Amino acid sequence: MAEIKAIVLRAAGINCDMETEYALELAGAEARRVHINRIIEDKTMLNDFQIIVFPGGFSYGDDVAAGKILANQVVHHLSEAVEKFIDDGKLVLGICNGFQVLVKTGILPGDGKELATEGTENTEKERVSKTDNQFLTITYNDSGKFEDRWVYLAPQSERCVFVEPGRRIYLPIAHAEGKVVTKDEATLTELKSEGRVAFKYVDKDGEEGGYPVNPNGSTESIAGLTDATGRVLGLMPHPERFVRATQHPRWTRRENGVDADGMTIFNNAVKYVRENL
């Protein structure tokens, strides 16, 4: 059987790439950290991989806005390659800053409607304007500060291949700009009706609530989104930071044999590729 290969994108300021690579390897994939400039130089490189991950961190110092500069690079240089990657049935995962990038490129909420295409048919002004998502954004936390805490997540979609339906998970967050806001009520209704909301912030009993249950003030407690295919996932919490039982903040009080919740995301991704690609 062919090896399942995952590419972990690198750029200045990204600092979760090694943990993400490790998580993918624990799940059974062959993971490789690659700088975005190498992919821009050789876009055919993506043909050798089935999973691409935009990891967490502070790409390019989050100048302008969180994930904005990296998103511009994707739009201007890799839009066709990424669209083909998704069209070929492959998987895309964006974690924290990576989620912000997926939103600012328009890869999420999906359908390719917002993702600019490279080439001479678009003027520079048109291409840049397309990096401003028309339907939703991720902005500053309501608390006005960087939030570093653990949160419960409840899956909301059976569409997304990364998600284990019915399994509430517990993951850490670390962000200052994590508030998901939709353009209008119609956009929110569409996201929910089409199963695009992948995760919501909840308490230990599975109920939505105010701060700190919802740590950033996201509309209707949205913590993660998927696209129309269910093969793209963006989420603010960090699954790569909980892949060993001892990483749980109360690990000495937990029952033996309880899985590290972050591995569900990576295990499901590798399982999907193994069974479908």
Instruction: Among 133-137, 138-142, 210-214, 222-226, name the one with the lowest average pLDDT.
Output: 133-137
Q: If you average pLDDT over every residue of the chain, what do you get? A: 90
Tell which residue, 67, 136, 106, 99, has the closest CA to residue 237: 99
The stretch 137-147 carries a mean pLDDT of: 96
Residue 119 has pLDDT above 60, yes or no: no
Other Cβ atoms within 10 Å of 36 Cβ, number: 19
| Structural domain total, the chain | 1
Residue 124 has pLDDT above 50, yes or no: no
Q: Which residues form the catalytic set?
A: 96, 238, 240
Q: Residue 109: which CATH number?
A: 3.40.50.880
The stretch 107-116 carries a mean pLDDT of: 61
Task: Write down the pLDDT at residue 257.
Answer: 61
**DSSP code for 162:** T
Task: Write down the pLDDT at residue 253.
Answer: 84
The stretch 260-277 carries a mean pLDDT of: 97
Residue 2 has pLDDT above 80, yes or no: no
Residue 123 has pLDDT above 70, yes or no: no
Residue 254 has pLDDT above 70, yes or no: yes
Tell which residue, 227, 219, 175, has the closest CA to residue 65: 175
The percent of residues in the chain predicted with pLDDT above 70, rounded, is 90
Range of the domain at 106: 5-276
Task: Write down the pLDDT at residue 113.
Answer: 40
pLDDT tier at 134 (50, 70, 90 boundaries)? Answer: confident
Structural contact between residues 224 and 153, judged by C-beta atoms closer than 8 angstroms: yes
Residue positions counted in the chain: 277
